[in-house]
Amino acid sequence: MIFIATAIELEARPFIEKLNLKKNPDHHLYNIYTGGDFALIVTGVGKIASAMAVTYMLSHFPVPDFFVNAGMAAGDEGVGIYLINSIKDLGSERSVYPAMLLDIDLPEKPLCSSDRVLSPDEVKKGYLYDMEGIGFFLAASKYLTNDRILLFKYISDNGIADGNLSRERIESAITESSALVAEKIKDLTMYKKEMKTTLVDKARFDAFADYYLMSTTSRKDLLKLLTYAQFIGRDPRHLLLINETVAKASRKQAGIRFIEELKNELLP
């Protein structure tokens, strides 16, 4: 799954359309849209709103492969879409860093998250500015490793304090930028976290261990051996064969013997 967080409904709309998302009727605290491999939440503006919404999402849905924050930013860079490589909280001066492992073909910029709209002379060259990034990242990084948290920010204007952030101006910029971002987000579905293989079927393992009246320690030892077996090319399922003729009184000992013999069999 890929989750997307946008601050406002306007930013969400192009994704809803491009990714065929439908409003999820089970959630009333937030507007959440789901469909296929994607889920989108409209967080509200500001770092606290963003962090709360991300936490809500991650505590109500299984942890996704990626969590993406997409939205407008300001700054005196050229109009465009940027992948964020560092996020500074202008309140605490603390910085965090997405891992930048995936080969996403977009220019990069550092992002500063502010609690208020900045005046032009507070804006440093080379930086983008938003109000959510840091909250989004910090909340998401409680659940996901930092290589799975991505921020795409788009710039449409460089006069954030000129009071001209009209709906039309934002809407047209968002529509243009979001098409490309949606494609980038779709690309992420090709990159799935390797599934951790279930080494041994749990029901089968439990049945085996229960039959031989294994203690917790013996169960742990057996599980470790079966894991090792898999890495040396042995199929753990073929190793767990219950000998149904063992009398109940002898099973505990038989289990201990089984572990010892299995170890001898597996070691080079």
Partner 1 sequence: MNYYRKNFSHIYVEKAIKDHPETERILESFPHSTIVDIERYMDVFSPTYQDFYSEKASQKIILAKSVSTLLFPGAPVCQSFGNDHFYYCSGVMNCIYDCEYCYLQGMYPGANMVIFVNLEDTFKEVEALLAKHPVYLCISYDTDLLALEGILGFVKKWIEFTKLHPSLTVECRTKSAGFDLVEALDIPDNFIFAWTLSPDEVARKYEHRAPNLSARLESIKRAQSKGLSVRLCFDPILHVTNYLLFYSAFFERVFSELDIDLITDVSIGTFRISKSYLSSMRKKRPCEITTYPYETSGGYYSYSDAVNTKLLDMAEKEISRYIPAEKIFRI
Residues of the shown chain interacting with partner 1 in the complex, contacts defined by CB under 8 A: 85-86, 95-97, 99-103, 108, 110, 141-148, 190-191, 221, 224-225, 227-228, 231-232, 263, 266-268
How far apart CA 132 and CA 143 sit, in angstroms, is 18
φ, ψ for residue 146 (rounded to 5)?
-70, -5
Taking the complex as a whole, the smallest distance from the CB of residue 138 to partner 1 amounts, in Å, to 8
Torsion sign (Cα): 16, 21, 25, 31: negative
Amino acid at position 199, single letter: L
- Please identify, using beta-carbon distances, which residue of 23 and 94 lies nearer to partner 1: 94
Minimum distance from CB of 267 to partner 1 (Å)? 7
Smaller CB separation from partner 1, 86 or 158: 86
Q: How many Å apart are CA 192 and CA 189, to the nearest integer?
A: 6
Report, in Å, the least distance between residue 184 CB and partner 1: 12
- Nearer Cβ to partner 1, position 30 or 127? 127
In whole angstroms, what is the distance from residue 137 CA to residue 99 CA?
12
Smaller CB separation from partner 1, 105 or 168? 105
CB of 83 to partner 1, least distance (A): 10
For partner 1, the closer of residues 232 and 241 by Cβ is 232
CB of 183 to partner 1, least distance (A): 15
Going by their DSSP bridges, the two strands 80-89 and 66-73 should be labelled as unpaired
* DSSP-derived secondary structure letter, 118: P
For 85, residues 6+ apart whose C-beta sits below 8 A from its C-beta are 97, 98, 100, 108, 109, 110
Provide the minimum distance between the beta carbon of 175 and partner 1 in the complex, in angstroms, as a whole number.
Answer: 28
78 vs 268 by CB, closer to partner 1? 268
- 10 Å Cβ neighbour count for 209? 18
Tell me which residue has tokens 């951790």: 196
